[in-house]
Chains A and B, each alone.
Chain A
Amino acid sequence: MPKPLRKTKVQGEVARLVFFFSSILLCFIALVSLPRLAAPLSFSYVIYLIMNPVIPKLMKLGLGKNTSLAILFIGLMFSITYPVIKLVPMITTESQNFRYYIPKMERYIKEKYRVVKSEVESKTGFELKDNYAADAIQGAREAVTSFLLYLPQYLASTIEWIFLVPLFIFFLLKDGHKMKSIVLRLTPNSIFERFYYLGHQFNRKLGDYIFAKFVEASIVGIIITSGLWALDIKFALLLGLISAVTNIIPYVGPFLGAIPGLIMVVADQGVGPEFGGVLILYIVANAIDIALVFPILVSKIVDLHPILVVISVILGSQYFGLIGMIISIPVAAAVKLIVAEIYRELYAVRTRG
């Protein structure tokens, strides 16, 4: 009698495991296939991970949970809405003006090309054809124009986000623990402890990573913007924003962020004191980032070997473009966490036992 009973028990547990993992998979597929919903939802989740540790700190001051939630939320609303309302028109006008600036840069490159061409011809006798430069300029112009044309459109969808994101964040902050307990209630007994602990660790690491990156990008963005402003360079805000966003990408990000600013200055004023000033500004901003910001936040940033970081960034960019480059590191950290847990399960315990 006990044998068949044991068999049904095992089958029950297997059924629960299958149900649990297929539910998770279904949720994941639903999110991937609905990007318009998934994008603001993921963004809200990221903000939620940053905001969530603040609630206990407010509660320690003697405030109730709902009061601290309300204070935090009103503060968040203000700090998201105000800059967006102020910045969106500024960035839109800057990016529109930038478009009119392209012919100037184009003229500059053509002039330089002519000089280089005559020099090459006089020294080697080899004649460079004009269409090399023309093709390159054409390609670059199309890319930049399409980016700038779509930028206001992206910003318009951010205005849609202004309504969606606070809504999601509010309910995540308010009912996040209820959603968590529903997921935990569905978790089968055999994997409960491991799943709960791993999920908790992953969330904390992801939250820390995002918080650290957010602080780092903001600091770099602020330094670049204020520096460019002080040097009286055009489009300081736009260039600062670009360097802040690209800073999220490790290793290559700072260089990518510096390119538009440097090209801008060369095209506008040629290689002169301004170019030197801007170059030094970018170097100083990244030096501050590497020397001061990074060591303070380094314990918060997931510890991955540089090789792993580079590989995961390349893989991310290969499959998901720019977004892939940004999310590749936390995903790699999650994979590392899970692999380490499986390793511990398979080897470490056996040897200790």
Chain B
Amino acid sequence: MSYEKDIQDKIDTKGDLPEKLDISLLKYFWQASPLSGSRPDSVPKFLRDIDVLKNFSDNELRILSQSLHLRVFTDGEVIFSQKDIGVGLYFVYSGQVDVRVEKEADEDENIIITLDKNDYFGELALLQEGSVRNATAVSRDTTQLLGIFKPDVEYLIESYPVVATKLLQSISVIIANRLYSVTQELKRVKHRLNQMEAESAKALEKN
């Protein structure tokens, strides 16, 4: 039964009318308005779910979202290639992205990771001068990415220094985390190398 028919019936039977208007259509238009921040699929809402951006206030996320560029890539389209010069960081807004690294010996590519919604990649390019991409990023399905580039960061630094500082803090966190994991990895490699050296020394002694 529709809302209008329900009300009409109540008027006809002189029943009690609801105190507040409860029109789902109105609610729909309110939420569908591009000005309304309550849309579940809006860019600031998306950014809210990204872990490294949790120190941003709602308004700061809104400002940040104005500097992001929505780019759409089709299935299998290359976002950037290894050894390209890059100037930006991408957030995966929808779809999936394969990150591949060229193998040294043969021409085949090696998929190292598949990134999903809320993941990000390419953060080094935002900071380095003439940064060279370390891997190739290829979209899987139709992928929407939100990119932020050096000119946008410069604009934020000039116009919204607080937002820029928080953004750079977040990028520093990402890089610190990566550096930490690289250090851990290096420790493991070093340990394994020491072990192997010791083993080969023992083997030599036996011989």
Contact = CB atoms under 8 A, between A and B. Distances in A.
A5 B71 contact: no
Interface stretch (A126-134, A191-199, A292-300): A191-199
Interface string A167-190: 000000000000001001100011
B88 A9 contact: no
A156 interface: no
A74 B75 CA distance: 50
Interface size for chain B: under 10, 10 to 19, 20 to 34, or 35 or more residues? 20 to 34
B151 A200 contact: yes
Interface stretch (B5-13, B76-84, B192-200): B76-84
A350 B82 CA distance: 11
B interface, over-half SS:
mixed
Contacts of B107: none
A53 interface: yes
A189 B73 contact: yes
Interface in A303-353: 344-345, 349-350, 352-353
B87 interface: yes
B159 interface: yes
A187 to B, nearest CB: 9
Contact of A181 (B69, B78, B149): B69
Contacts of B130: 344
A196 B160 CA distance: 21
A285 to B, nearest CB: 34
Contacts of B149: 193, 196-197
B80 A193 contact: yes
A14 interface: no
A65 B62 CA distance: 15
B132 A349 contact: yes
Nearest to B157: A56
Contacts of A352: 83, 132
Contact of B132 (A12, A181, A197, A353): A353
Q: Of residues B76, B80, B86, B159, which shows the largest number of chain A Cβ atoms within 10 Å of its Cβ?
A: B159
Contacts of B158: 53, 56-57
Interface residues of A, number: 30
Contacts of B69: 181, 184-185
A189 B74 CA distance: 10
B73 A6 contact: no
Nearest to A197: B87
Majority-rule SS of A interface residues: helix
A197 B71 contact: no
Contact of B151 (A12, A57, A185, A197): A197
A242 to B, nearest CB: 37
B175 interface: no
B25 to A, nearest CB: 31
Interface string B144-163: 00010111001100111100
Contacts of B76: 2, 5-6, 9
B150 A60 contact: no
A345 B85 contact: yes
B159 A193 contact: no
B85 A349 contact: yes
Contact of A349 (B74, B75, B83): B83
Contacts of A220: none
A147 B78 CA distance: 58
Given A349-B83, A353-B83, A60 B161 contact: yes
Contacts of B80: 193
Nearest to B82: A353
Contacts of A12: 74
A19 to B, nearest CB: 16
20 contacts: A5-B75, A9-B74, A12-B74, A56-B155, A57-B158, A59-B159, A60-B159, A65-B159, A181-B69, A189-B73, A190-B78, A193-B88, A193-B149, A196-B87, A197-B150, A345-B85, A349-B132, A352-B83, A352-B132, A353-B132
Interface of B: 69, 71, 73-80, 82-88, 130, 132, 147, 149-151, 154-155, 158-161
Given A193-B88, A200-B154, 4 more contacts: A55-B159, A60-B159, A181-B69, A349-B132
